[in-house]
Amino acid sequence: MKSICLAQSLLIRACRLAACVTLFASTSLAQVEDFDSIKLYTLKNESGMTVRATNYGAIITSIIVPDRNGDLADVALGYDRVEDYINAVDKPYFGAVVGRYGNRIAKGEFTLDGETYSLLKNNGENHLHGGAIGFDKVVWTVDEYVEGKSLALSYLAKDKEEGYPGNLQVKVTYTLADDNSLIVDYHATTDKATPVNVTQHTYFNLKGEGEGTILDHELMLNAKMFTPVDETLIPTGEMLAVAGTPFDFTIAKAIGRDIGQQDEQLTFGLGYDHNWILDKGGKEGELSLAAQVREPSSGRVMEIYTTEPGIQFYSGNFLDGTLPSKNKGMYQHRTGFCLETQHYPDSPNQKNFPSVRLNLGEKYNSKTVFRLSAVSK
């Protein structure tokens, strides 16, 4: 397939499915293969929630939900134009599915079955979110679109793509339920042993994207332990209790309450950018509550359930006013947060962490549910 330079203004044209539109970009220096196949899909339920996603990067571009008064707002950070996702400064991964390995791998290498694999170092001396062209930077195949209800996407990551072994067939399905649950199912198979850790990287602001900081959002994490990191944000291998530290979110508190404390871990992350070890209650691999976030002024609440053993809480520390928002402003410092369900960072190099190895003949299955609601004062 030939590369097509992006040189047109954003157009929306109807497809046979009313909710499906084709996106074209305006001026851009990037090139994308099969650009004409990039489309936007809409999921909408009876409760007033709308989710839009594209097959470029399996990106969720917007999540529109009502507040306690029924007023709608888009609570997902992102862009209106596809080329902004392609050429985003600092690659924030807005709304994307990241992989083959979400999060960091130390020094861009790991050893599997006696063979050492070298990966691109795209985060200082480390490898981050699958490399320069991870799952967030490719066009996915649309396997099935059930109008307004679900979207199934697949991608074949080839052997040695971004340095990883094995041909990995990945499928991601977004389903919107009438209880305002966005269900994300991940499945994968491989023809050779490989590490797999796929996650969703949406930035949230429950006030509405572009509506100020997230520091007053009240967060609860169902986790009594976390994995501390070194100055490059690679886990040290320890698993420490959160009690008595700024990392204790076992009882809901404002994100900004302790973020400015003098703490080495907060210094390393420039805020929160760490993995919490979820309390699974002996039910590893089963769907369980991971987090709850409440935004006081709107009454919006988000609960996250997952089969994964960990969750990365990132407090938008690297948002710095250089990225345009959908409401014509700029995304300022800490105006969005991520809660990325996952296996732990650098697990391929950390033998005491849960395994991320997927073998020939095995199936990778993971599920995360984002449930939105609103409560009265």
The number of beta carbons lying within 10 Å of the beta carbon of residue 103 is: 28
Is residue 201 among the annotated active site residues? yes
Amino acid at 133: I
Cα–chain center distance at 301: 18
Q: Compute φ and ψ for 31, nearest 5 degrees.
A: -130, 140
202: tokens are: 């949406």
Cis (ω within 30 of 0) for the bond into 100? yes
- Can you tell me the distance from the alpha carbon of 33 to that of 217, in angstroms, rounded to the nearest whole number? 40
**CA end-to-end span of the chain:** 55
Q: CA triplet 210, 213, 214: central angle to 5 degrees?
A: 110
Q: Compute φ and ψ for 106, nearest 5 degrees.
A: -60, 130
Q: Which of 127, 129, 201, 217 is catalytic?
A: 201
Per-residue DSSP letters for 82-124?
HHHHHT-TT---TT-EE-SB-SEEGGGEEEETTEEEE----BT
Residues linked to residue 185 through DSSP beta bridges, in sequence order: 173, 367
DSSP-derived 3-state class of residue 184: strand
What lies within 8 Å, CB to CB, of 91 at 6+ separation is: none
Specify whether the CB–CB gap between 197 and 101 falls below 8 A.
yes
Q: Which of 162, 274, 340, 343 is catalytic?
A: 340
Is residue 284 among the annotated active site residues? no
The number of beta carbons lying within 10 Å of the beta carbon of residue 308 is: 25
Q: CA triplet 297, 299, 302: central angle to 5 degrees?
A: 125
Specify whether the CB–CB gap between 294 and 217 falls below 8 A.
yes
Give the residue among 213, 216, 217 at the shortest CA–CA distance from 329. 213
Catalytic residues: 201, 340
